[in-house]
Amino acid sequence: MSIDVEVVATTSLGDRSYLAHDGRVAVVVDPQRDIDRVVLLAGRFGVRITHVVETHLHNDYVSGGLALAKLTGAAYLVAAAEKVAFDRVPVADGDEVTVSEGMRLSVAATPGHTFHHVSYVLHGPDGPEGVFTGGSLLFGTTGRTDLLGQEHAHDLAHHQHTSARRLADLLPDGTRVWPTHGFGSFCSATQADGEASTIGREKVANPALRLEADDFVEQTLAGLDAYPAYYAHMGVRNAEGADLVDLTPITLVDPAGLRTRLEAGEWVVDLRSRKAFAYRHLAGTVSIGLDGAMSTWVGWLVPWDAPVTLLGESAAQVAEAQRELTRIGIDRPAAAATGQPEGWAGGQEDRLAELDMATFADLAAARAGRLPRGLPAPEVVLDVRLAGEWQQDHLDGAVHVPLPELADRVGELGDGVVWVHCQSGYRAAIAASLLTRAGRRVVCVDDDFTTAARELA
């Protein structure tokens, strides 16, 4: 009998869930809110889900664990020390859980990412197959330690170091490592390295296993940057337990309804690509394209519980965005509209707008007085990347306002035309739409920042 572990990736949030099975029964680890993906996967392999386990109460998404356990009748394993408002099977360090005759889990306390974090070692007939590490030992890094408050970050970083060492001492070098975070998630202390790993590889690559405790803590805390504002609501929601998600279509709104929402100052989000937005969009809308980390930025920028209206080219695009948003607890967007800007404007041309786009080569030419393609001269060059990116490298003379702070700091930019950039163009487009909505003249630099040094040397 063999044990197979299937990855259920949620690339938009940088997370992975897992389904481990022996061909008959399965255990699911850290499932996302939209559990239909896991149910379909189990059906494809013809296995019955008997156990659902959580490594910790997540801060970056609403768990689908409770709903999946209720739907399937599976045992729901959550750390005994966690205070939750639902029935669960409480587990603690040293517990053994039999999943089937040839598959069992052993629980290891691995505090650090949270105080009550646990990891699950998956055992097969021949010994340990791998370890589900959640936000503990990641690929080349560890989970961040400041999500429960800065006052706990130092102590949790020490715990994180101890937990990583414990797993390395406990398990053979060939044991596979299956983390939940680290694939772009802001729950990761730094960007993860690689797509797969083992305990042996981590001993060579992971700072938690290479550095002494004080050095690791100092390096970890120094590398932490801002994280999305919506994280503040996830732990509470997961402690309460989330029911099945409602993915039925969102209420559609007509052009008059869109106008009313925009005039009321509500958030109307254009899901199309930034290039499509630049070519033509409904004035007053915000560009947060589905081709990037849409849910992260909606959750970060939009005040919690504020109504959100989605604009997409098709019902499928809106439905995909709706699914993404349920993962962070935005269960029912207020409304939606599909089609093109001309339709959203109800044929009123004065309700349509364009956005000037440029490259770093254009910015260099403009700074030299050679304005390309009739673009306006830059009076402010705005960098909206996060603090760590700015500290690593930035343009001389640029103003730095991280995108999450921009809406509240527009007044600091002074008068004049703003040329705004980020690392690749995605966040710059969001920023440009926010500035345009605030009445500013903007040029969006849609270019890779790695070219900036060459173009602006």
The per-residue pLDDT for range 143-180, each reduced to its tens digit, is: 999 999 999 999 999 999 999 999 999 999 999 999 99
Residue 167, token pair as written in the block: 């797993």
Residue 249 CA to residue 254 CA, distance in Å, equals 15
**pLDDT tops 70 at residue 5:** yes
What is the pLDDT at residue 184?
Answer: 86
Tokens of 403: 């995108």
For the entire predicted model, the pTM comes to 0.95
| Contact (Cβ atoms closer than 8 angstroms) between residue 398 and residue 449 | no
pLDDT at 192: 75
SS3 of 290-359: the string is CCCCHHHHHHHHCCCCCCEEEEECCHHHHHHHHHHHHCCCCCCCCEEEECCHHHHCCCCHHHEECCEEEC
Q: What are 7-40's pLDDT values in tens digits?
A: 999 999 999 999 999 999 999 999 999 999 999 9
What are the Cα distances from residue 305, in Å, to 286, 319, 323, 324, 328?
17, 19, 17, 16, 12
Residue whose entry in the numeric block shows the structure tokens 């700074």: 367
Pairing outcome for strands 127-134 and 118-124: antiparallel
d(CA 133, CA 177): 7
Where do the domains of the chain lie, and which CATH numbers do they carry? Answer: 4-240 (3.60.15.10), 255-353 (3.40.250.10), 358-455 (3.40.250.10)
Strands across the sheet with 4-10, in order?
A: 4-10, 15-21, 25-29, 48-53, 75-79, 89-91
Q: Give the DSSP per-residue string, 138-149.
A: -SSSBB-S-TT-
Cα separations in angstroms, 210 against 198, 216, 335: 15, 8, 51
Q: What is the pLDDT of residue 56?
A: 98
**pLDDT at residue 194 tops 90:** no
User: Are the C-beta atoms of 234 and 59 separated by less than 8 Å?
Assistant: yes
pLDDT of residue 148: 95
CA distances from 397 to 409, 410, 433, 452 (A): 18, 18, 23, 13
The yes-or-no verdict on residue 453 having pLDDT over 80 is no
pLDDT tens track for 213-223: 999 999 999 99
Q: Could you tell me where the DSSP H helices lie in 178-250?
A: 199-205, 207-210, 213-222, 231-240
pLDDT at position 222: 93
> Which pLDDT score, from 0 to 100, does residue 457 have?
60
